[in-house]
Structure 1
Amino acid sequence: MSRPEITKWLSELTEKLINPNKDNRIYWAREVTFDYAQSNRIRVDYMRFEPLNNTISGIEKGDFYCYEIKSSVEDFHSKNGHNLIGDYNYYVMPSEVYRKISAEIPFGVGVYCPEGSSLVSVKRARRMNRKRSVSEMLLMMFRSANRDKLKNNMQGR
């Protein structure tokens, strides 16, 4: 498989992991961009929000899960796509890539690798101290999800 094909495959598996039943109560977005007008703009491949419950304090205490797709060792070693800004952060990569770079994965960052038609956790993520507010994270997720919704509506015409 070519690198773009591997990225597409890993992306499809990640979407299946995040929301296996296409449940509209699962809050997630892809290509979530932060700091648009800055020179240090970042984009998280996939982001999921899991509120503690639907009360105000439950939303404020919710957790953000970030997933970065890495299709090759070269992709992992590139300066792009190491945007580990969630409460829980994961790389998603082929098993052979993980075997080659496992010692380089930061402590606390988890890893998912494909096994058959799904992803399995090969390294557990640990909670990290997020530096961005719940409101900023949710707004950026909402913006990205809305972009995709509008794009899909335009394609459906």
Structure 2
Amino acid sequence: MPTPGEVDDYFVQIKAMSDREAVLAQSAFLDTFLEQALSWCMVTAPSDNRDRIFRDPGSPLGSFSARILLAEALGVVSPAMRAQLDVIRRIRNVFAHTVRPLDFENRTLAEEAAKLDPGSMTRPGFVYQTGVEITSRTRFNDTSTFVIRHVIEFIGARHKGAVDGSWPVVAAYQSTYA
């Protein structure tokens, strides 16, 4: 898992990346936190079986799609958040599996990004940008960042060590981005 400093560095670096780099990085970061959240939902610690569960060819949770589905089934994310994750996953797949240059100006990617609703991923009482045109890139970054935040908070609430500060990423993230 990343350290608090790595989390901070990550959010700074994202802004300087190309659309492809940002989408792949955001998706990988989100996937990492989903894996961690799912691990903490398991009855037995998956440390000895982590590769067999999450990474080996044919592993049951080896894909972003499988992790998203299980995250919804276990209550890590809501059905609405799972729908947003599916859009993030589809955008990620286009960038990851296309060799030609791409950015959010691409019609297909812009149409997918238009399905993202970052405002629906915020905390109650938080007012997302209003009266401002939001670019596809901003829509993607903000939605994925809000989902990452939610998953980190889920981890904090679920894992006693994270709540009492023994897992510093959660405490640092909550204090920095609250």
TM-score by length of 2: 0.27
Higher relative CO (Cα under 8 Å, sequence separation at least 6) belongs to: 2
Name the TM-score, length of structure 1 as normaliser.
0.30
Instruction: Compare the two structures and name the one with the higher strand fraction.
Output: 1
More helix by share: 2
